[in-house]
Structure 1
Amino acid sequence: MGLKRCFFLLSVFCLVTALLLTLGVYLLCGRIAERYPQGGIAIDSDGTVTELAGPDREQMQILELLDGVRLLSAVLLPAGGLGFAGILFYRLKLKVPIEILKMGTGRIRNHDLDFSMPEASADELGQICSAFEMMRKELLETNRKLWQQAEERKRLNAAFAHDLRNPVTVLKGSVKLMKGGRADEHTLERMERYVLRVEQYVEAMSSIQRLEQIQVRLCDTDGSALLEELQETAHLLAPGLDLILPVPDLGIVRIDHGIFLTVAENLIGNAARFACRKLEVRLTLTGHMLCLMVADDGPGFPPELVKNGPKPFGKIEENAEHFGMGLYSSNLLCLKHGGKLCLDNRPEGGGAAAAFFKTIKS
């Protein structure tokens, strides 16, 4: 029941009750007054006029008091009924929602979002409490994402500083050799190689920063077109491998086409580097999750990578050209798309990477 209707009904009920009480008081005072002599004259049937006894002084005071009670009841009882209606309205409709809102604002003011606001009612104030609860959840989710981004940034900076330490140490040693006049062509080649390595690290860091700034833009995409693009990408990145690519009927899905293709290229390219003879790519839609699974028959993922997930500059193998950023960036993109990236090793051998994207099937 809405607030206006509730207040109107309570006011009418209390006012009617007050008027009935006023009528009862009026009738009761009238009956009491009838017990006392009223004075005046009485005319008999034969025309005889008899003067009736009037009230004495004490009885007159009682009658005046009864008149005062009638007058006061006619004023105070309706006013009291309206006041009582306001009190009832506050206790029934306003008190609990106001206390809930005060509690919520107080905890948010103290930077505490780890609570929930109970449902107060189905009226306007209850809707405000529900909207406040939704706002609290959004704030909590935003703070959690900001905290995760800050922690991820710390890990990224720590990994970058750790992996950059070796090239810098080598370059410092090479500079000392050059200052001492002991540098040769091999020293210059080593410096050039490690300078290129530093450039690659910086480019990897820049690419991650660009990924963090990407905004998800959903659009309707034909599932058959996605499968064709996956097949074309697999043939380009893994031309010498046997490709297994089932073709299910996915219909029209709503995803960010660019993010999907970037993740697909990273996963297929990573699997192609480690596959021996076979590459398997599967695209399935379950509920609101689009799953891209890429598997190979290679050595599989390291147990630490499967357990902890991809880390920045976490190499699967010692290779100067690869810094393990493909899986890490794919995980970032999946998280932006409302999904995740899962890594596992298959019982028959080889690694499998499953990228999940939150989507809507049209």
Structure 2
Amino acid sequence: MEKIKRQSLKSSFMEAVAITMLIVFLCSGLAIFGCYLLQKHILPDSNEVWLTQQTTAPDGTVTEAKMRYVLDDSPEPFGQLIADGQERNESQGQTSYMIERIESSYSMLSPKTRTAYRVSQICMMLLPFLFAVIGITLCAWWFYHKILEPPITVLMDATVHIQDRDLNFQINFSGRDELGQLCTAFEKMRQTLYENNRQLWSMLEERRALQASVAHDLRNPIAIMTGYVEYLQENRQGGTLTDEKLEKALANLGITAERMGHYTDTMRDLGAIEETEVHRREVELPEFLQHMADSLSILFQNTEVRFACDFHVPAGRVVLDGELLYRVLENLISNALRFAEHQIELAFYLEHGTLSATVTDDGPGFSDKLLQKKTALFYSEDTSGKHLGLGLAVSRVLCQKHGGTIELSNRLPHGACVKATITIKQ
């Protein structure tokens, strides 16, 4: 899979600032150049000079005439200047010429052109500053609305959903910077919270089912004890209570009380199991599972049941709680040994981050009544009170703590199948 190139907020900001500065410099340069052209157009050419002609008449009268003339590389001849009201007459007086450079062209401008010139000077200084302010403002606006606002809005909406205890939503943001990574981390946190809440809700539902199951099962021993009490009272009042009847009633009451004690002990043990913490560590597959299967084979000593184990897992290192998995398999195999006739099979599978262990036997299988209640935390068909289904209950709780579950089914033509799954990290 191609690795996505990350771009930091710092690089995005520096890129936006660089582009803004380039645009500001370009606009400022164009503005200054435009103002320069305007000033050049308003002011006379620096090569212009005043050509002054001074004529002295025979009677001593002096007249002057001025003409603006441009000095360039190709000078042109010009005739004698004539003052206003005089006619050209070479025989009259003496004529002299004087050339004077125009030092300050601004002084020769009209009031309107002077105002235009002043405005152009002010614009040359003010427009670059104005462009810089506008550029910074637009850069900040663009960076916020295009880079910062979308992920912030997504995170704020997600926060509102979480505050309302609504985890059934998704955070969709494909940014490649730090805020995009934050949104991705927030989505992972939401998924974890959603999964934890789902598992917690499932455990609460199963706890309610457990309480209902225990309450239902306790009705029988309570009814039996109540019946025997009434039986003893009636026989005592009627004078027919013999030592034999009394001994039989007391024995049955003792058995019923012992069964009720089993129920209370089971509930206490199950509560302790729910407090167990998961301790994951890295192991090597399939060697670790092979060692676990060898340890479980000790359970088949002094039995005629054959044990077979298959491994459908690739070689590699994974992270899981091996002790927890061993306790689950030990409970499942112990239960299977009670019903198996000749063989019990254990198979391991690994796919999509889930490790599953399937325990099958060749016994009578689960009843339809049990399969209908296969999602219950606590259920048993044993009416003797010796086996209350604690093994399956403990296994289900431990698998749930490891992000998995327990599934019950029957295999053809006969036999029971229990599949335990846990989530692992590869």
Q: CA separation of 1:125/1:150 partners in 2, compared to 1, >3 Å: closer, same or farther?
A: same
| Residue matched to 2:345 | 281
Structure 2 CA distance, aligned partners of 1:249 and 1:36? Answer: 92
| Residue matched to 1:339 | 404
Name the SS for the 2:338 alignment partner: helix
The structural deviation recorded for 1:346 is 1.9
CA contact (8 A) 2:207 2:377 kept: no
| Residue matched to 2:205 | 151
Structure 1 CA distance, aligned partners of 2:225 and 2:108? Answer: 126
1:290-305 aligned within 5 A:
290-305=355-370
Structure 2 CA distance, aligned partners of 1:258 and 1:101? Answer: 39
Structure 2 CA distance, aligned partners of 1:291 and 1:101? Answer: 36
* Equivalent AA in structure 2 for residue 65 of structure 1: V
- Equivalenced residues, count: 357
CA contact (8 A) 1:227 1:247 kept: no
| Residue matched to 1:92 | 146
The equivalent position to 1:195 in structure 2, one of 254, 257, 269, is 257
Unaligned runs of 5+ in 1: none
TM-score, normalised by the number of residues in structure 2? 0.75
Name the SS for the 1:280 alignment partner: strand
| Residue matched to 1:131 | 185
1:199-218 aligned within 5 A:
199-218=261-280
| Residue matched to 1:14 | 20
Q: CA separation of 1:110/1:248 partners in 2, compared to 1, >3 Å: closer, same or farther?
A: closer
* Equivalent AA in structure 2 for residue 9 of structure 1: E
| Residue matched to 1:349 | 414
Q: Which has the larger radius of gyration?
A: 2
Asked if 1:234 is matched to 2:296, the reply is no
Asked if 1:104 is matched to 2:158, the reply is yes
The structural deviation recorded for 1:202 is 0.5
Structure 2 CA distance, aligned partners of 1:16 and 1:152? Answer: 66
The structural deviation recorded for 1:143 is 1.5
* Equivalent AA in structure 2 for residue 171 of structure 1: M
CA contact (8 A) 1:7 1:85 kept: no
Task: Single out whichever of 305-314 and 133-142 deviates more from structure 2.
Answer: 305-314
Structure 2 CA distance, aligned partners of 1:312 and 1:74? Answer: 76
* Equivalent AA in structure 1 for residue 344 of structure 2: E
The structural deviation recorded for 1:91 is 2.5
* Equivalent AA in structure 1 for residue 136 of structure 2: L
Structure 2 CA distance, aligned partners of 1:101 and 1:244? Answer: 54
Over the aligned positions, Cα root-mean-square deviation in angstroms equals: 2.9
Asked if 1:319 is matched to 2:384, the reply is yes
Structure 2 CA distance, aligned partners of 1:91 and 1:253? Answer: 44
The structural deviation recorded for 1:312 is 4.4
Structure 2 CA distance, aligned partners of 1:114 and 1:258? Answer: 34
Q: CA separation of 1:107/1:197 partners in 2, compared to 1, >3 Å: closer, same or farther?
A: same
The structural deviation recorded for 1:108 is 1.4
Task: Single out whichever of 46-55 and 60-69 deviates more from structure 2.
Answer: 46-55
| Residue matched to 1:48 | 99
CA contact (8 A) 2:173 2:184 kept: yes
Structure 2 CA distance, aligned partners of 1:26 and 1:289? Answer: 70
Name the SS for the 2:255 alignment partner: helix
